[in-house]
Structure 1
Amino acid sequence: MELNYNSNSSNSSEDELNEYLLMDFIEENREVQAVEDAIRYFVNSTAERDRSHDLRQRKKRTYFLRDRESANERLVADYFCNQPLYDERQFQRRFRMRKHVFICIVDTLSVDDRFFQQHPDACKQQGATALQKCTTTIRMVAYRCAADQIDEYLKLGATTSKECLAHFVDGVIAQFSATYLRKSTLDDLQHLLREGEDRGFHGMIGSIDRMHWEWKNCPVGWKGMY
C-alpha cells in the first residue's frame, strides 16, 4: 500500500509539472502572438498611411482660368488711365491714400522686388501686374477683407494675395523706412507747427484727437466721451 501511495504521488507530481509547463508554454505563445499581431498591425497601418499620402501627393491641383489680363485692363480703366472712371477723390477714399503716393510705391517696389514684376506662369499665361498686386494689398489692409475676396475683382487667389501682402510690407519697410519711419527732425517739427497754425491750432504737434476742444453740438450718443 505504501508503494502504491508513493507511485501515485510521483505520478501526480509529474502531471502537475507537465500541466504547469503546458500552461507556461501556452502563455508564452499568447505573448508572442500578441507581439506579432501588434507588429503586423503597425506595418499594415503604416503601409496604408503611405498609400494614402501618395494618393494625396499625386492629386492634381485645380487650375482656374482667371483672365488676369482683362482684370488688369479693368483696373487701369477704373483708376489709372488718362480719363479714369473714378476721380481722385474716390481713389483716395478707396485706397486710403492719394494716387501719386500709390503710384510712387508701385514703381519703387517694381524696380527693387522681382515679385512685383510681371512674368508668365507655368501655363505660359502672363501673371498679375504690379498694380494688381499692390491694389490687392491695399484692399486687404484698408477693408480687412479675406484674401480670397480679392479674387472676384482682381483675379488673384488667396495664396497669391497673402504673398502680395508679405512682399508689400517688407518692400515698404526696406524702401521707405529711412524717410518716413524715423524720428522727427527740427525741420519736421517746424513744418508741423506751420501746418497747425494754418489750420487754427497754434503750438500743435501731431495731435489728431482734438479732445481738448469743446464741442458746441456734440451728438447725444457720444455724451461724456469728448
Structure 2
Amino acid sequence: MSARTTRECLYRFCHNVVKPYSKKYLWKPNAYDVHQLYQAHEARHRFPGMLGSIDFMHWVWHNCPNAWQGQYTRGDHDHPTLILEVVASQDLWIWHSFFGLPGSLNNLNVLYQSAIFSDVVNRTGADTHFTVSGVEYRRVYYLADGKYPSSSTIVKTIPYPEDEKRKKFAKRQEAAKKDIECCLVFYKKK
C-alpha cells in the first residue's frame, strides 16, 4: 500500500470516528463535567475533589517492525508494547486516553508526555475548586497506584496503613481504584 493511500485511509477512519462521537464523548471535561464528576465520586466513594482513577497498561504490538523493536521493548516484557494511559470515572466513562508511547518508557516519561497534566502545569482549564474540612483546594486529583510518582494531583494508596483510620481509608481508595482496573481489563480482553 502506498503512503498516500495509507494516509487517506487513516484520515477517513479518524473522520468517521470523530464525527459521530465528538459532540458527546471526545472532549476534555469542562467546568460542568468536573462538577458532575466531583459529585459522583463523592457520593459513591466519599472522596471530594477526585476526578477519577488514572492508570496505564502495556498493549502487545505483535506486528512491530524489526527496526523499532528496541525502543518498544523493555526488560520486563519479552515483546514490543505500546502504552495506553486512561482516566476513568466511577461510571466507567473513559474521558482521557493517551495511546502510542513506546513500551520502553518508564512511568515518569509517560507522565511527562501525557496531556492530562498540561492544564495543571500551565494553570489553565476549568475552575475546579472544592472544600474538605473547611479547607479550599484549587487542584483536582486522581487516584493512582504505586507506579506514579507522588504529587499534589496524584493520590496513591497508603502502602502499609498502621492504624484503623488509615486502614479504612486505604480500603476505600483501593475500592475506588477498581474503576480504572475494570476498564483496562475490559479493553485488554477485546
TM-score, normalised to structure 2, is: 0.27
Judging by fraction of residues, say which structure has more strand: 2
Q: Whose relative contact order is higher, 1 or 2, with alpha carbons under 8 Å and at least 6 apart? A: 2
TM-score, normalised to structure 1, is: 0.24
Judging by fraction of residues, say which structure has more helix: 1
